[in-house]
Amino acid sequence: MITIFCGEDSSAARTAFSNALKKYQATGAEIISISPASVLDIAHGLSSNLSLFSNQSIFCVENLEKQTFKKSTKAKKDTLYESLVRISADKTMQLIDFEEGKQARLLKLKDLAKVHESAPSTTIFKLTDECYPGNKITFIQSLKTVCETQDEMFVLIMLFRHVRNLVLALADASSAKLPPWQKYKIIAQAKKWEKQMLLHFYSGLIKIEIGAKTSANPYGIAKSLEILACHYL
């Protein structure tokens, strides 16, 4: 069997992944971390070599989908994919995979696995919708609420993606991948901004991200976002 933990909310997905492993461990199972390249070994009998001190082996891997594999055809068999098919059909095998920041619909293995997706909460989308000039107080209140339950870096990433879409909308360069309803919604929100102010806000988000990754920001992500909002909203 294959189980995948994924989702844009990587922090929540990793927590779910870790909790699942802890539950198996509590039942006496042996947790074995492997690399994506070692999946072939599982399919060829590694899982039958159980530890003397456990009743089951659970193999855990991260970002398996970064491996190169394709669905097999009659003309050409893909060795890795065929191995994954065998693992998914064998109830005596347990392979648990964590996919960093990946949506379930984008998984190549979604048809072979049981998928647990950690999607962003509705409060995140409420926060991004409230990001426009003249709405400072409401935005900051929502920001504080969201940061109580969500990882601050995740909040920054979601806000960064949304503001980037606003910038593209003002430049008439919206992504063709956006569904029509979302595209119209973003265009309407972008029109609430003066182009230069939006670019300054976007630049501020980039600086906050750099500061967070280099530990050069003394205020932290949430406080920095609040200060940025006070300047431009």
Length of the chain: 233
Give me the chain's average pLDDT, please.
Answer: 87
Closest by Cα among 65, 86, 64 to 77? 86
Secondary structure (H, E, C), the chain: CEEEEECCCHHHHHHHHHHHHHHHHHCCCEEEECCHHHHHHHHCCHHHCCCCCCCCEEEEEECHHHCCCCCCCCCCCCHHHHHHHHHHHCCCCCEEEECCCCCHHHCCCCCCCEEEECCCCHHHHHHHHCCCCCCHHHHHHHHHHHHHHCCHHHHHHHHHHHHHHHHHHHCCCCCCCCCHHHHHHHHHHHCCCCHHHHHHHHHHHHHHHHHHHHCCCCCCHHHHHHHHHHHHC
Model confidence over 179-198: pLDDT tens digits?
888 889 999 999 999 999 99
Share of the chain above pLDDT 70, in %: 93
Model confidence over 13-23: pLDDT tens digits?
999 999 999 99
Model confidence over 56-90: pLDDT tens digits?
778 999 999 988 877 777 777 778 888 888 889 88
Mean pLDDT of 121-135: 92
Residues 87/58, Cβ–Cβ less than 8 Å: no
The ranges assigned to domains in the chain are 2-117, 122-232
Mean pLDDT of 32-58: 68
Q: CA dihedral defined by 213, 218, 220, 222, rounded to 10 degrees?
A: -130
Quick one: pLDDT at residue 51?
47
Model confidence over 92-108: pLDDT tens digits?
788 999 999 888 988 99
The CATH number of 2-117 is 3.40.50
Spatial distance between the Cα atoms of 188 and 185, rounded to a whole number of angstroms: 5
**Residue 31, token pair as written in the block:** 């947790």
Spatial distance between the Cα atoms of 17 and 14, rounded to a whole number of angstroms: 5
* The CATH classification of domain 122-232, taken from the options 3.40.50.10860, 1.20.272.10, 3.40.309.10, 3.30.70.20: 1.20.272.10
Spatial distance between the Cα atoms of 128 and 149, rounded to a whole number of angstroms: 16
Spatial distance between the Cα atoms of 58 and 84, rounded to a whole number of angstroms: 15
